[in-house]
Amino acid sequence: MSVDSANPTDAQRSQYRIEALAKGLQVLRLFDETTTSLRLRDVSDRTGIPMPTAFRIAATLEEAGFLERSDDGQLHPGVAVLTLGSAALRGSGLVQSAERPLRTLAQITGETVNLGVLQDDRVLYLARIRNADLVTANIQVGSSLPAVFTSMGKVLLAYLSPDELTRRIGADAFRPGHGPNAVGNREELNRQLATIRQQGYAIQDQELAAGLRSVSVPVFGAGSAPVAAINIAVSTSRHDVDSLRGPLLERVRATAAEISMRLRAQ
């Protein structure tokens, strides 16, 4: 195999694209922690795939165990999807590198710690060690949250170019229904990101949910852009904002540095 074929360019990858497979993956991506079931008509409407094609795709995914169909016709993610997701996390070099340092951080601080990556305009949680009294008990590995309301999301958004930030963050990113201090528009977000870039960390103070604060720093691999972020999430009854900028910030920075060192050594 030549070097070119072993490492295809974007144009070559497009040439190799299998359209039917791409459509099947598009259907699977419709499901997340907020969308756990869909009717076939919903699948067709959301993807633009014609109903007959959507029916064949769903039937194929159902046969392979990636979708399940309930008695009322609703489609749900199948066990095969969970197996793939679990294998991906176990095999991730990032998760493996972060696991021990995160557990140490959780033990030392007694607080919830998280590892996340940026996916479009959301943060995907790859690791989570939770303190029992934290407000957001429904967040788990595999959950995703709006990046603009989270400390991990904002610390990762701060490293994007203006064009990339615009591509990811539209007006619909600032939906209501979050914490009392949630950022409300792009201009306010831009000011926050400028501060985050300067100081190298992000603090979320009841933006995601009332009663929740967190402090996050980036994790780096071989390049200059962060590959992930980690945070310490705390209850407002336990820590004020000043404490997040003090010992907790120093601990999360030391943990991020250790994870970054582990990644570079791979």
| Mean predicted confidence (pLDDT) in 192-199 | 96
Q: Which residues sit opposite 216 in a β-bridge?
A: 202, 231
Encoded tokens for 82: 């969970």
Least confident of 10-24, 206-220, 237-251: 10-24
* Cβ neighbours, 10 Å, residue 262: 19
**At residue 261, does pLDDT exceed 70?**
yes
- Residue 217's DSSP bridge partners are 230
Domain residue spans of the chain: 3-84, 92-264
% of the chain surpassing 70 pLDDT:
87
What's the distance, Cα to Cα, between the start and end of the chain in Å? 25
The pLDDT of residue 90 is: 52
pLDDT of residue 7: 54
Q: What is the CATH number of domain 3-84?
A: 1.10.10.10
Contact 116, 164 (CB under 8 A): no
**Other residues' Cβ atoms within 10 Å of the Cβ of residue 85:** 13
Backbone φ and ψ of 216, nearest 5°: -135, 150
Q: What is the pLDDT of residue 16?
A: 79
Tell me what pLDDT residue 1 has. 45
Kindly report, residue by residue over 129-175, the tens digit of the pLDDT. Answer: 987 666 555 678 878 899 999 999 999 999 999 999 999 998 888 98
The CATH architecture of the domain made up of 92-264 is 2-Layer Sandwich (3.30)
Cβ(27)–Cβ(61) under 8 Å? Answer: yes
- Under 8 Å CB-to-CB from 101, ≥6 apart: which residues? 255, 258, 259, 262
Total count of residues recorded for the chain: 266
Share of the chain above pLDDT 90, in %: 56
Helices (H) and strands (E) in the chain, counts: 12, 8
